[in-house]
Amino acid sequence: MTYDNLLLDVTDHIARITLNQPDQLNAMSPEMGQDIRQLVDDLNQRSDVRVAVIRGAGKAFSAGGNLDRLEEEAQAAKGEKTGQGIGGGRSFYSLFLSIRDLNVPTIAAINGHAIGAGLCFTLGCDMRVVHERAKLGMTFVKLGIHPGMAATWNLPRLVGSAMAAELLYTGRLFGGDEAVRCGLANRCASAETFDDVVDELASAVAASAPVAVRAVKETLRGTFDRSIEDAIGMEADQQAMTFTTTDAMEGINAVREKRAPNFTGS
């Protein structure tokens, strides 16, 4: 599988995805969004992938929307109140947020600045690791535009309504340490340890029972929109399904024998 705006490598059950427009600081474009959508479809057809890691080529994760495209949109919409939003609005955002449709866990390895829509894209992932030198920001209002790409939906669910309001109203930049403190990120890592921290997290996920992990991802999806009774029922159904797998017996035997399990995904 090859893509015009992405790189993909699959090793040891880990799909390593790179946004590959470093000369543009991996600014988001409809073309890159189309590649993301295709990538999701492609990876969901593979049984060997257990976790996906996404990072940016070069010094940035993603600078967000391309400024030239933003200017074109502003000029086209000026005085008309008919603007569609960045890259066409809903369709553009949906392409990137299709990363949420991957049936394996995703880790955003934020190796450099993630700004505006670039940060929104990382919120579509299940986990985030931030480089200590990376700057993050929901900078939409600094450009005079409303946030997009589900910023007002995802951010409050991660950091709470008050912190989300502050970050969205001010558009201020913040770093990895604050991202961890407020619940936006799982880890903040130094330049020397960043790759190791990302790989350790990805490897830990990949070492878990893949059928069970995929089932957990399905259960977590939409968890804020269902009642506790519905959650209990869904968990019971998924747990019953995983008890039928070979991996369930392997996990039990591994605990008894005090060894690491060798899950096969069956």
Give φ, ψ of 261 to 5 degrees.
-75, 155
Which range (13-17, 81-85, 188-192) has the least confidence?
A: 81-85
Mean per-residue pLDDT, 92-116: 97
Residues 198, 231: one domain? no
Q: 152-159: which pairs have CB atoms within 8 A and are 24 or more residues apart?
A: 154/120, 154/123, 154/124, 155/123, 155/184, 157/224, 158/123, 158/182, 158/183, 158/184, 159/183, 159/184
Q: What is the structure's pLDDT at 65?
A: 72
Per-residue confidence (pLDDT) for residue 227, from 0 to 100:
95
User: What mean pLDDT do residues 168-188 have?
Assistant: 98
d(CA 152, CA 71): 23
Is 170 among the domain residues? yes
Q: What is the pLDDT of residues 39-86, one digit of tens each?
A: 999 999 999 999 999 999 999 999 987 665 655 655 555 655 555 555
pLDDT computed for residue 123 by the predictor: 98
Angle, helices 161-170/151-159, rounded to nearest 10 degrees: 130
- Statement to judge: residues 152 and 252 lie in one domain: no
Residues 236 and 133 in one domain: no
Do 197 and 217 have their domain in common? no
Let me know whether 195 and 221 are in one domain. no
Q: What is the mean pLDDT of residues 179-196?
A: 98
Average pLDDT over residues 225-242: 96
Residue ranges making up the domain that contains 184: 6-206
Provide the whole-model pTM: 0.92
Same domain, 158 and 237: no
